[in-house]
Structures are given as structure tokens and as C-alpha cells.
Amino acid sequence: QSQRFGDESQPPKLKGNAMTAPIPPGHEGLIPHLVVNNAIEAMEFYRKAFGADEICRLPSPDGTKLMHAEMKINGNVFYLCDDFPEMCGGKSRNPLALGGTPINIHMYVEDCDAAIEKAANNGAVVAMPAADMFWGDRYGMVSDPYGHTWSFATHKKDMTPEEMAQAASKAFG
């Protein structure tokens, strides 16, 4: 049995006089939910490229796709599933089928350059090489093989809003 899903044949467990918590521990914040083609393969990519740990997976009844999976990177949970156009009025929801994504998944890391290199070495495409940015971060982006965009930053310099505005004016000429 996975760490996340309980035994559905059993009623919810009571804790004192309360039912199971309505928000599972570790799931309190905003949780990205990625739709991909080949979620099992994507989970392996996220493990190798980003150091993600699997929390759980729930296969479709026929076992050919994942209806739901949970992973964690640096203590932060994200969900993923295979694309199920048949459940969405015949429309695909993965970024490859849609021609891209306007969403960027962002992570602060100790070494932005190393994170981008590791992702690229595992199949991501560098969309923006790491560079020092006007807001005080070293920042870059990759596109994963499933069409999702990930950005990495290492904070280098604390700046006041005034300093950032000046740096932005200089950067944009």
C-alpha cells in the first residue's frame, strides 16, 4: 500500500473524536499538477533530472496509464498523471499536444548552473542558459521532454525595490 492512499475498503480512521485530516500532511500549499504523455517514464526523468522522490502512484484500471502520481522535490509535493483526452471531451491537456505551456515551475537551488546541467544531461533542453539577472538571482530555464518548463535560481544578492527598479531600467535600456 502506498504512503498516500489508504485501504479504500476500510472506513476513514478516527483520530480521537476527529476524522482524518481534510488536508493531508505535506499537502498544505499550492501543488502543481502536471499532465504528461507516459507518466511512468516522466517520473523516472524527474527522479534523475531533479532528484524527485516518489510518494505514490495510482495506475488506471487497465494498467496502461497513471491516473495519479505524487512526487516530492526538496520537500515540495507535485502531482502528475497521464493525459486522458477521453475524460476531457476528447481534448488533450499535455503541453506537447497544446504546443507549449504558459506555466513555469520554479525552484531555488544551491547551484543554478549545476541544476540546469543535470537536467540537460538527463534529457531536458536548455531554454535559457543560466545568467546573472538584474533582480539579484542567477537564473536559467529548461524544458523537460514532456513539454513542461522549469526554472532554477540561486539567490546571489539582496536588493531593495529601488535597486531592482534601477537595474531593470538598465537591463531593458
In a domain, 90, yes or no: yes
Query: How much is the pTM?
Result: 0.85
How far is it, in rounded angstroms, from Cα 154 to Cα 137? 6
The CATH number of the domain holding residue 37 is 3.10.180.10
In a domain, 23, yes or no: no
Position 26 scores a pLDDT of: 85
Position 16 scores a pLDDT of: 56
In a domain, 11, yes or no: no
DSSP string, 29-45: S---EEEESSHHHHHHH
In terms of residue numbers, what domain contains 83?
33-171
Q: How wide is the angle at C-alpha 86 spanned by C-alphas 2 and 103, nearest 5°?
A: 70
Instruction: Tell me which residues of the chain have a pLDDT lower than 70.
Output: 1-18
Number of domains in the chain: 1
Each residue of 127-153: pLDDT tens digit?
Answer: 999 999 999 999 999 999 999 999 999
| DSSP category for residue 60 | -
Position 18 scores a pLDDT of: 62
Position 32 scores a pLDDT of: 96
The answer to whether residues 50 and 150 touch, using CB atoms and an 8 Å cutoff, is yes
In a domain, 1, yes or no: no
How far is it, in rounded angstroms, from Cα 170 to Cα 173? 5
Position 20 scores a pLDDT of: 86
Position 136 scores a pLDDT of: 96
